[in-house]
């Protein structure tokens, strides 16, 4: 029955200002279809079936994706972040990654194997939004990424990003450090405050073939034909621009269901 949503039971206002449901029951008993015209019988059967589905949907325990689809906990629509304003962030951790990843991207990652989702069938949230979250408007060096869509704020703490090159500004350990992934090609990242600690962007990585390590990443983001380019801003690991490394504190504090709450601010 997945994907089938029955029509809601029709409601009729009565003279006494109460509401009577046009359902296939009378005194909580199913109405018999024996001896009735076929059109009426079909209507009764459809309404009875729909009523049972409504009960099943309301009590859809065990299927977190169905529950979230029918009665969303997460806010729908677009969240436009504002510079220097604090936002609650809910982080999640699976066998390879910790942090936040937009819902649609995490669904693609799950299909590749070796990834999970939180109790709301997503991978964390920013301001209770899980999909369309936009960077603040900046006026300084980070102005280029103003309004860019966020893909993830995460640490890939096992394998790490092959796309982070070994160079004078990055080491092998930096591949598992905290990164912010945004749609588009940019050269300068903003500062990010996490639970009161300020972290500057230590490195910027562009021209990444896929979201993940090729050839096993999500190809809709990257440099392939028809793909959407994205940039990684690295905040954790080595570098001289921040006085503190966020990797350790970002990894601490997850509870027994692998969830954690933090506060973030973007600034220049």
Whether residues 136 and 183 fall in one domain = yes
User: What CA–CA distances, in Å, run from 70 to 47, 49, 229?
Assistant: 19, 18, 33
Whether residues 81 and 30 fall in one domain = no
User: What pLDDT is stored for residue 62 in this prediction?
Assistant: 62
Structural domain includes residue 250: yes
User: What pLDDT is stored for residue 42 in this prediction?
Assistant: 52
Whether residues 203 and 246 fall in one domain = yes
Structural domain includes residue 5: no
Whether residues 146 and 40 fall in one domain = no
Number of domains in the chain: 2
| Three-state secondary-structure class, residue 48 | helix
Whether residues 237 and 132 fall in one domain = yes
User: What pLDDT is stored for residue 39 in this prediction?
Assistant: 53
User: What pLDDT is stored for residue 26 in this prediction?
Assistant: 43
Whether residues 79 and 54 fall in one domain = no
User: What CA–CA distances, in Å, run from 59 to 28, 63, 64, 241?
Assistant: 19, 10, 11, 51
User: What pLDDT is stored for residue 142 in this prediction?
Assistant: 96
Structural domain includes residue 2: no
Structural domain includes residue 123: yes
Structural domain includes residue 133: yes
Grouped pLDDT means (10 residues each) for the chain, 268 residues? 44 44 44 51 45 40 80 95 98 97 96 92 97 98 97 96 86 94 97 96 95 93 97 91 87 97 98
Contacts of 261 (CB under 8 A, 6+ apart): 88, 89, 90, 91
Structural domain includes residue 159: yes
Helix (H) or strand (E) holding 171: none
Whether residues 47 and 110 fall in one domain = no
Q: Which residue range forms the structural domain that includes residue 24?
A: 11-59
Whether residues 50 and 108 fall in one domain = no
């Amino acid at each position: 029955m997945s994907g089938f949503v029955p029509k809601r039971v029709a409601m009729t206002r009565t003279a006494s200002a109460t509401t009577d449901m046009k359902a296939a029951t009378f005194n909580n008993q199913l109405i018999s279809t024996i001896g009735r015209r076929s059109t009426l019988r079909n209507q009764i059967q459809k309404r009875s079936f729909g009523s049972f589905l409504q009960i099943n949907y309301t009590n859809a325990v065990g299927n977190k994706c169905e529950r979230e689809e029918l009665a969303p906990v997460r806010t729908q629509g677009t969240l436009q972040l504002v510079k220097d304003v604090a936002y609650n962030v809910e982080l999640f951790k699976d066998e390879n990654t910790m942090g936040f990843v937009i819902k649609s991207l995490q669904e693609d990652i799950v299909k590749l194997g070796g990834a999970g989702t939180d109790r709301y069938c997503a991978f964390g949230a920013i301001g209770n939004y899980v999909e369309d979250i936009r960077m603040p408007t900046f006026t300084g060096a980070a102005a280029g990424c103003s309004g860019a869509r966020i893909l993830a704020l995460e640490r890939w703490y096992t394998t790490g990003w092959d796309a982070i090159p070994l160079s004078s500004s990055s080491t092998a350990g930096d591949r598992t450090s905290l990164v912010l992934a945004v749609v588009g090609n940019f050269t300068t990242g903003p500062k990010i405050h996490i639970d009161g600690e300020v972290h500057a962007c230590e490195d910027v990585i562009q021209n990444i073939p896929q979201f993940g390590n090729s050839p096993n990443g999500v190809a809709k983001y990257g440099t392939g034909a028809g793909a959407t380019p994205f940039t990684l801003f690295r905040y954790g690991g080595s570098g001289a621009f921040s006085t503190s490394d966020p990797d350790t504190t970002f990894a601490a504090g997850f509870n027994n269901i692998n969830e954690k709450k933090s506060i973030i601010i973007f600034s220049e």
